[in-house]
Amino acid sequence: MTDDAVPAGKLRTIVTFLEMAEAPRPRHRPPPFERMALLRAEGCTVSFYRYLYATVGEPWLWHTRRRLSDDALRAIIQDEKVEVFVPYVAGVPAGYVELDRRKAGQVDIAYLGLIPEFIGHGLGPWLLDWAIEAGWNGAGVTRMAVNTCTFDHPKALLMYQRAGFVPLRQEERLEDDPRLEGVMPLDAAPQIPLAEPPVR
């Protein structure tokens, strides 16, 4: 598919699916901040999750969870097999990672990202290493999975590969531009050009 073939109102992205078929050796990377804590958001509220998702994801055009109703989102994040962990730096939430254990024998890193002010300090690789070790620390886990797309941070794919994930396949997708639909602000993710508006 060429850029010329992208319909009005749509964005083209390439999604890379990765897997890890065996647990790596723990890296024991030291925390990048002295005053830091990592806590599970037990019974995570919809309002807190929406804050994390919007603040972490807006620079990368995360929109899927924004489209969910409160009830639909609550059903996911309060499922006993879904775990949301939040790193705090000097008491301030710095991002989050979401581990999804709803598939038998598999742990998905559903989301992993940082609040913009905390990018570039080594927290991302540290959080990923921690998530991998936590993900494998469960009965019957035989596989971990994660995916990333061309809208994500440009170093995301390399970070996952360095951590031990292996690309399985890539998939090209056309998505509605959430900024044109009012799902996200028009100035979100300025590095991603706005789709051409549909003719009304």
Domain membership flag for residue 194:
no
Instruction: Let me know if residue 4 belongs to a domain.
Output: no
Q: Would you state the torsion angle of the CA atoms of residues 6, 8, 9, 10, taken in this order, to the nearest 10 degrees?
A: -10
Q: Looking at the domain assignment, is residue 96 inside a domain?
A: yes
Asked whether residue 45 is domain-assigned, the answer is yes
CA pair distance 73, 87, nearest whole angstrom: 21
Domain membership of residue 137 (yes or no) is: yes
Do the domain assignments include residue 196?
A: no
- Residue 28 has a pLDDT of 81
pLDDT for the residue 26:
85
103 inside domain: yes
The candidate with the shortest Cα–Cα distance to 13, out of 179, 177, 183, is 177
100 is a domain residue = yes
Pairwise CA distance, residues 189 & 180, whole Å? 13
Q: Supply the pLDDT for residue 138.
A: 84
The pTM assigned to this predicted structure is 0.94
- What are the 10-residue block averages of pLDDT along the chain, 200 residues in total? 75 98 89 96 98 98 98 98 98 98 97 97 96 94 98 96 97 96 97 90
Comparing CA positions, the residue from 21, 47, 17 lying closest to residue 164 is: 21
Contact criterion met (CB below 8 Å) for 151 and 15: no
**Domain that includes residue 64, residue range:** 11-25+34-176
Please state the length of the chain.
Answer: 200
Instruction: Look at residue 4 in the predicted model and tell me its pLDDT.
Output: 61
Q: Give the count of domains, the chain.
A: 1
